[in-house]
Amino acid sequence: MDADTYKPGVGDLVDGRYELKDSLGKGGMAQVWRAREVSGGREVAVKFLRHDSEALYCLDPYEREAELAVRNARFRREANLLGTLDHPGITELYGSGSHLGVPYIAMRLVTGVSLRTFLDEHSPLPLATAVAVAIQVAGALACAHTLPVVHRDLKPANIMIDEEGWVVLIDFGIAKPLHADATRYTAHGSTLGTRGYLAPEQLLEREPTTRTDVYCFGCIFYELLTGRPPFPLGPESGLTDKHLNEVPLPPSTYAAGIPEPIGDLVLRMLAKKPEQRPAVDEVLEVLDPFAPGVGDPEPRPRTHPDPTAPMRRPPDRAVRPRPVALTLPVASAPADEWLDARVVEQFCAQAESEIASGEPGDATDRLHGLTERVRKEWGERRPLVRRVWQGAADGFRLSGNFGAAARLYQAVDNDLIHGDGPAERADRALLRLRLAECRLTFGELEAAIATVDAAGRTAAGLPPELAARVEAVRHAVDAQLTARLAEPRRREA
């Protein structure tokens, strides 16, 4: 029996490890089964790549073989990504392999309902419920985007709410790493993603970035708040043109009681240009003041499951940690003692030495944990505060944590550089170049081009020594940008 003829059935023992119990459903590219792990007895979900889909039968033999090769490669990549993503809002990978020629992925079984079913049953949602779902989705996305990985198929059907109220992001089947050496797979037939939840750049078949997910997430959040997507489906709705050109009405048009910061946030998430959308970390920051808290009453009308329950539950009764954006390690000094500036200066000097060697180590880790504390104790104008933040950002960048590095560089640029003399202009140009370097990893090429051009103009007006510092970094970032622009500009899978 080969991959073209094998069809999973009840009682099948997959790879000697998983006994199939019942089918949970199938789509165009995969089918999912509930199974029992033979060694431990726990229930798992086993996802099989489909070799028998209707779309494949419509192709000639050569096209079918090529498309199957792409699907197999994507399926292997999904398994690799799930093994890398570590977040309670993303299904854990238990194992992967091939059974009778058919690739499979075994992962955590999420029992509950899809967000699509939840919305169909409970819309319109109480504000607290909508915010609770959005915060949990944003936490999972923050984990993926830090790698960086873009999901590319965010929609209510790919979000689950389990029986305890935890929200889980599923189906990374067309997710894509954004680092420069990620393998590219040419798509066959249609734009990747789901109609109604596609960003303008997806409709135009352009490079995805993490802000692509933010747009799709914005469509979902709009529906959470109002009970309808920003551009509803219809036989003659002109949906593509609306996503490309039409500004959605404010969500408050359809639902009362939406706080202004949330309404503004949703519209910014739905900006047509990726660079105008907030990063997912900013989404979390805006939503945090509106999050349900421990001891808050259950929202009315009640829903089951209740996505606010994990946030309202006392910490000692929480089943899993609340999903949030990545946090920094705790500082070395006890929280009830004032920081010693001489000790912090020593940490900075040691970290800068590690960074100069290209190998961030223990001292750099200490800076990561001191950022918020030095800012709180010493304010935003003390040079040592900026030194801590910039050292932490440089450490994150060199260790490959580009999302965290970008957040710190942006904060330094926004809040910690004061004055407009030559030294400050040079520092701003250098920070923005490093920020552009991080964002290159996320595919944000247009913003990087603008930053490199602006840095060149800034350097032209600086004293020679400062200009040389800016030009050295500018040329390095420009070389990376040139390499990215030289990559084949074809639609990816």
Q: Which positions are annotated as active-site residues?
A: 153
- C-alpha to C-alpha distance for 204 and 215, rounded to whole angstroms: 14
- Contact call for residues 165 and 309 (beta carbons, < 8 A): yes
3-state secondary structure of 6: coil
- Cα-based distances in Å from 236 to 239, 241, 242: 8, 11, 12
Q: Following DSSP, what letter does each residue of 8-57 receive, concatenated?
A: --TT-EETTTEEEEEEEEE-SSEEEEEEEETTT--EEEEEEE-SS-HHHH
Query: 153: which 2 tokens?
Result: 């198929």
- Contact call for residues 14 and 94 (beta carbons, < 8 A): no
Which residue shows structure tokens 């990063």?
A: 279
26 labeled part of a ligand binding site: no
Task: Compute CA 172 distance to the chain's CA centroid, rounded to the nearest angstrom.
Answer: 12
φ, ψ dihedrals at 88, nearest 5°: -65, -20
- Contact call for residues 5 and 11 (beta carbons, < 8 A): no
- Beta strand residue intervals within 259-378, DSSP E: none
- C-alpha to C-alpha distance for 79 and 311, rounded to whole angstroms: 30
Who contacts 423 (Cβ-Cβ below 8 Å, separation ≥6)?
Answer: 466
Query: 50: which 2 tokens?
Result: 């489909």
Burial class (CB in 10 A: 0-12, 13-18, 19+), 80: middle
| Helical H segments across 230-279, by residue range | 239-245, 260-269
- Element containing residue 149 per DSSP (H, E): strand 149-150
- Element containing residue 86 per DSSP (H, E): none
Q: Following DSSP, what letter does each residue of 390-432 receive, concatenated?
A: HHHHHHHHHTT-HHHHHHHHHHIIIII----SHHHHHHHHHHH
Within 13 Å, how many C-alpha atoms sit on residue 393's CB side?
A: 25
Who contacts 249 (Cβ-Cβ below 8 Å, separation ≥6)?
Answer: 230
- C-alpha to C-alpha distance for 336 and 238, rounded to whole angstroms: 60
3-state secondary structure of 175: coil
How many CB atoms lie under 10 A from the CB of residue 302? 10
Q: Which residues are annotated as a binding site for ATP?
A: 47
Residues in the annotated binding site = 47
